A and B are shown apart, each in its own frame.
Chain A
Amino acid sequence: MSKQSPVHFHRMKDMPSTHLLGTGTPMCAGCGGLETLHTLYDILGEKTVFVNAAGCMTLLSVYPFTPFRGGWLYTSMGSAPAGAQGVRDALDILLQKKKLSAEEDVEVVVITGDGAAYGMGMSATSAAMDRNLDFIYLCYDNEGYGNTGQQYSAATPHAAITSTSKGSHGYPGYKKDLFAIWAAHNPAYVATVIAAEPLDLAKKIERLQSLSGPRMLISLAPCPTGWDYDPELSVEVGRLAVRTGVWPLKEYIDGEVRHTKIPKQRQPVEDYLRLQGRFRHLFEPQRDEAGIAEIQARVDAYWKRILEE
């Protein structure tokens, strides 16, 4: 894929003013994943093929409708990066044999949820990075198997109530550090993003457009349905995920991790937790001081380590 000359995103008014992705999709109101996809698609444009794994976004393209103006290929839950491999290799073969012109070439974009990215699709993703596949991967991480009713996944945060962790203490495990796992492969690019910070997101998309090889994005995807909050709060929940330090915005490039938005005065995590029904048990019927303190301590420890580096 020939690399485009970058457009510079400095201010909000530099952002695309209209969306390329069609409307009327079956995504839930307030879907944080769809917001990230809008921005990604607006910037990448229609010369793209989205290779999808089973998840919420599979329902974007239901015969005979699609919101995409370019390509779409649904694969399976575990093998979207392998689908991207087949598509990319075929495009390269056709380019080499002069059966496809450079203008006809397309960017291959894997789009999966956290269920695929953190679990079933992990070996396919790891291997795509081993092979230095030239592709973009967007994981919309809503911290559970959302499409089946929000069962806990390896992306679920500690203490979250899910439909398979309904007990009074929620999910006993801890969210897996996918960023570190992906970065350990030394791909061209890895970043965490969130739609509620659109400029940070746009700059990262711009950066990955100037690179080739595996370019990996993990977008925290606030999920009104799975996290149990009013859809109108999606942007607020997203902003608080960043301002409380729960979702650090960072990127990995050339062996270095750089934090792209360090909250100056971190808000207490409970500002983030309190908005979401999945954490209500930390506040009602009585406040679980120890539970909240544990989550706060983990976030504090992370930032202490980062700020001391």
Chain B
Amino acid sequence: MTAKLLTGNSAAAWGARLAPVDYIPAFPITPQTEIIEDLAFWVDRGELDARLVTLESEHSMITAAAAAASSGVRAFTATSSQGLLYGMEMIYTVSGWRTPFVLVNVSRGLASPITLESDHNDIMAARDSGFLQIHCATCQEIADGVLIAYRLAEHPEVRVPAIVNLDGFYLSFTREPVDLPDASKAAAFVGEYDPENLQFKGNTPLSQAMAVLGGGPYSYFRYETHLAVERALSIYDEVIEEFAATFGRRYDKIDAYCMDDADYVFIMLGSFSTKARDAVDSLRAAGNKIGLLRPRLFRPLPAALLRQWLRGRRAVAVIDQNISMGMGGILHSELATALYGIDKAPLLASYIGGLGGRDISQQEFFAIADELNLAYQQGAAPPVRLLYTRNEMTEMRKLQAIAQAEHAEIRQAEGKS
């Protein structure tokens, strides 16, 4: 194995190269674009025997990826944010085609206001689509995650597409040392693409993605997809065992840190969990028995495993880098559902932060830990917190003051003319 210093985007491209993929429908969007640039470079130089085609939108790109997978080739594609939402009709549509392929989403906040930096509202919008979701926290996990995603998606018992998610900027443009799997070992691990019965051939009549009439057949196919996604839960364990045996790296469904004796727990997705990990180290040094859980596999949600990890803990802080308007944190809702009614359920507190690339500081993690302590003593969870500092509010007020001053100046000038 060779260690290379790679950005998260390059690691994603390497994952596709090592699978290896046959077909890459593409469309540029920040912060994902480097992935398709890397792949295009390799295809042009003959280092990757694949076809890359730039479509005119993500809607078309996802259609083309699924249509190609439905015609018998291994497809890969990537997008971010507005692109994922522009293609959302097809995200929901193609999972029902039961065509396995992999899409890398480089998470970025959604408009409005339009922005470039990371949060998870984009990927959460695909939550109910039927795509599997693997969330990454390091560049190593991205390259490995793409290979794992193909194995899982293409498994005969699963056969749905998969999204591998990484955070824009924090991972997409951050270089980390990555042990790239050996090409032949990677190809052997993923295996040949088996289109099964999905292939258009001159001598084989086949209709795909047909309409149905009535709720009976409709429900049947919807339930079938749901059950297939659920099956990925146990199959993930098989795949991960084999991956660990082959490459020496283990990726459990939930990454657990300092959990053995933890009374208190942070739960979050993605690369910001590495900040929480630092906070856990500091808090532990100060005598706070706190741990961290990071679900890698988000769809299917490993609910039973979450219950297992959390039963008997004192209090849990769910830190969401997303916001469901009028409801709050989406991961928090999922945790509440998973834990409802169990014995010795912990108190569940909800924090929203890290939107649009905003940092979550160590001080904030410490304040959250203090609140968990207090909540346990008082026997009640605190209200939902929208993380925002006094300093941020002061800066915002300054911007508003400038905007108001400019506006007044323009009106005054208009009045004079």
In this complex, the interface size class of chain A, counting residues with CB under 8 Å from chain B, is: 35 or more
- Which of these, A68, A74, A83, A93, contacts B211 with CB under 8 Å? A74
Q: Is B206 an interface residue (CB 8 A)?
A: yes
* Interchain CB contact (< 8 A) of B205 among A46, A93, A104: A46
- Give A25 to B319 CA distance when docked, in angstroms: 54
Contacts A75-B209, A93-B73; A85 near B200 (Cβ below 8 A):
no
> Nearest CB to that of B203 among chain A residues?
A104
- The residue of chain A having its C-beta at the shortest distance from the C-beta of B52 within the complex is A89
**Across the interface, which residues of A come within 8 angstroms of B205, CB to CB?**
46, 66, 68-71
Contact mask B46-66 → A, CB, 8 Å, 1/0?
000001010111011101111
User: B202 and A89: CB pair below 8 A?
Assistant: no
Contact status B60-A79, CB under 8 Å:
yes
Q: How far is the CB of B347 from chain A (nearest CB, A)?
A: 45
A76 within 8 A of B: yes
Verify if B70 is at the interface (C-beta below 8 Å from A): yes
Given contacts A87-B70, A91-B200, contact A127 B55 (CB under 8 A): yes
Please tell me which stretch of A56-64, A149-157, A221-229, A236-244 contacts chain B, meaning at least 4 of its Cβ atoms lie within 8 angstroms of it. Answer: A56-64
B278 within 8 Å of A by Cβ? Answer: no
Contact indicator B207/A90 (Cβ below 8 Å): no
Whether A61 pairs with B207 at a CB distance below 8 angstroms is yes
Within 8 A of A (CB), among B63-97: 63-73, 75, 89-90, 93
A51, A79, A104, A127: which contacts B90 (Cβ < 8 A)? A79
- The smallest beta-carbon distance between A89 and chain B, in angstroms, is 6
Instruction: Verify A71–B200 contact, CB threshold 8 A.
Output: yes
Q: Judging by beta carbons under 8 Å apart, are A126 and B56 in contact?
A: yes
Does B201 lie at the interface of the complex (its beta carbon under 8 Å from any beta carbon of A)?
yes
- A255 interface residue per 8 A CB criterion: no
- In residues 160-209 of chain B, which contact A (Cβ within 8 Å)? 200-203, 205-209
Cβ of A124 and Cβ of B56 under 8 Å apart?
A: yes
The residue that A62 contacts in the complex, of B70, B208, B210, with Cβ under 8 A, is B210
Contact flags A128-144 to B (C-beta < 8 A → 1, else 0)? 00110000000000000
B interface size (C-beta, 8 A): 40
- Mark each residue of chain B from 1 to 32: 1 if its CB lies under 8 Å from any CB of chain A, else 0: 00000000000000000000011010000000
Whether B207 contacts A89 by the Cβ 8 Å rule is no
Question: What is the CA–CA distance of A69 and B204 in the complex, to the nearest angstrom?
Answer: 9
Residues of A within 8 Å of B93, CB to CB, are 75-76
Within 8 Å of chain A (Cβ to Cβ): is B325? no
Contact status B211-A63, CB under 8 Å: yes
Which residue, B23, B93, B202, B211, has most C-beta atoms of chain A within 10 A?
B202
Knowing A49-B200, A70-B205, A90-B23 are in contact, say whether A82-B71 is a contact too (CB < 8 A): no
- In the complex, the answer to whether B211 meets A61 with C-beta atoms within 8 Å is yes
CA A62 to CA B209, docked complex, whole Å: 10
The answer, yes or no, to whether A106 is at the interface (CB within 8 Å) is: yes
- In the assembled complex, how far is the CB of residue B70 from the closest CB belonging to chain A, in whole angstroms? 7
Partner of B72, one of A59, A62, A90, A131: A90
A61 neighbours in B (Cβ, 8 Å): 207, 210-211
Task: Convert B368-411 into 0s and 1s, putting 1 for each residue whose CB lies closer than 8 angstroms to a CB of A.
Answer: 00000000000000000000000000000000000000000000
Report which residue of B22, B69, B75 has the largest number of chain A beta carbons within 10 angstroms of its beta carbon: B22
Residues of A within 8 A of B89 (CB): 76, 78
Q: Are A74 and B209 in contact (CB under 8 A)?
A: yes
Known A-B contacts A63-B217, A72-B207; the reply to A82 vs B60 at CB < 8 A is yes
Within 8 Å of chain B (Cβ to Cβ): is A123?
yes
Instruction: Name which residue of chain A comes closest to B25, CB basis.
Output: A86
| Residue in B57, B59, B75, B207 whose Cβ sees the most chain A Cβ within 10 Å | B207
Chain B residues near A86 (CB, 8 Å)? 23, 25, 63-71, 75
Which among B51, B70, B200, B205 has the greatest number of chain A C-beta atoms within 10 A? B200
B200 touches A106 (CB 8 A): yes
Chain B residue numbers with a CB within 8 Å of A75 are 63, 67, 90, 93, 209
Cβ–Cβ contact B207 & A68, under 8 A = yes
In the bound complex, do residue B64 and residue A85 qualify as a contact, i.e. CB atoms below 8 Å apart? yes
Of A49, A94, A124, A130, the residue contacting B57 (CB under 8 A) is: A124
Please name all residues of chain A whose beta carbon is closer than 8 Å to the beta carbon of B59 when the two chains form the complex.
Answer: 76, 78-79, 82, 124
A90 to B209, CA, bound (A): 17
Within 8 Å of chain B (Cβ to Cβ): is A287? no
Residues of B within 8 A of A127 (CB): 55-56, 60
How far apart are the CA atoms of A90 and B70 in the complex, in Å?
A: 9
Say yes or no: B208 contacts A72, CB within 8 Å.
yes
Query: Residues of A contacting B209 with CB < 8 Å?
Result: 73-75
Q: Flag if A89 contacts B51 (CB, 8 Å).
A: yes
What residues on B are CB-neighbors of A104 within 8 Å? Answer: 201-203
B25 contacts which chain A residues (CB < 8 A)? 82, 85-86, 89
Residues on the A chain within 8 Å of B201, using CB: 100, 104, 106
B207 adjacent to A71 (CB under 8 Å)? yes
Chain B CB within 8 A of A261 CB: no
Contact A82 B55 (CB under 8 A): yes
B245 in contact (CB, < 8 A): no
**Is the CB of B413 closer than 8 A to any CB of chain A?**
no
A47 interface hit (Cβ, 8 Å) = yes
Task: Report chain A residues within 8 Å CB of B55.
Answer: 82, 85, 127
User: Is A42's CB within 8 Å of the partner chain B?
Assistant: no
State whether the Cβ of B285 lies closer than 8 Å to any Cβ in chain A. Answer: no
Q: Give min CB distance, A93 to chain B, whole Å.
A: 5
Using a CB-CB cutoff of 8 Å, which residues 81-125 of chain B contact chain A?
89-90, 93
Please indicate which of the listed interface residues B23, B57, B60, B206 has the most CB atoms of chain A within 10 Å of its own CB: B60
Check A82–B61 contact: CB distance below 8 A.
Answer: yes
Q: Which of B57, B63, B217 contacts A83 (CB 8 A)?
A: B63
* Contact residues in A for B211 (Cβ distance below 8 Å): 58-59, 61-63, 74
B212: A residues at CB distance < 8 A: 62-63
- Does chain A have a CB within 8 A of B342? no
Name A73's contact: one of B51, B61, B70, B202 (CB within 8 Å).
Answer: B70
Given A79-B63, A82-B67, A85-B60, 11 further pairs, Cβ under 8 A: A68-B207, A71-B207, A75-B90, A89-B73, A90-B70, A90-B72, A93-B68, A93-B73, A106-B202, A123-B57, A124-B57
Q: Which 7 A-B pairs have the closest CB atoms?
A: A86-B67, A82-B60, A90-B71, A127-B56, A86-B64, A86-B68, A79-B63
Ordered by A's residue number, 16 sampled pairs between the chains whose C-beta atoms are within 8 Å are: A61-B207, A72-B210, A74-B208, A76-B63, A82-B67, A85-B53, A85-B67, A86-B65, A86-B69, A89-B23, A90-B69, A93-B22, A94-B72, A103-B202, A105-B202, A123-B60
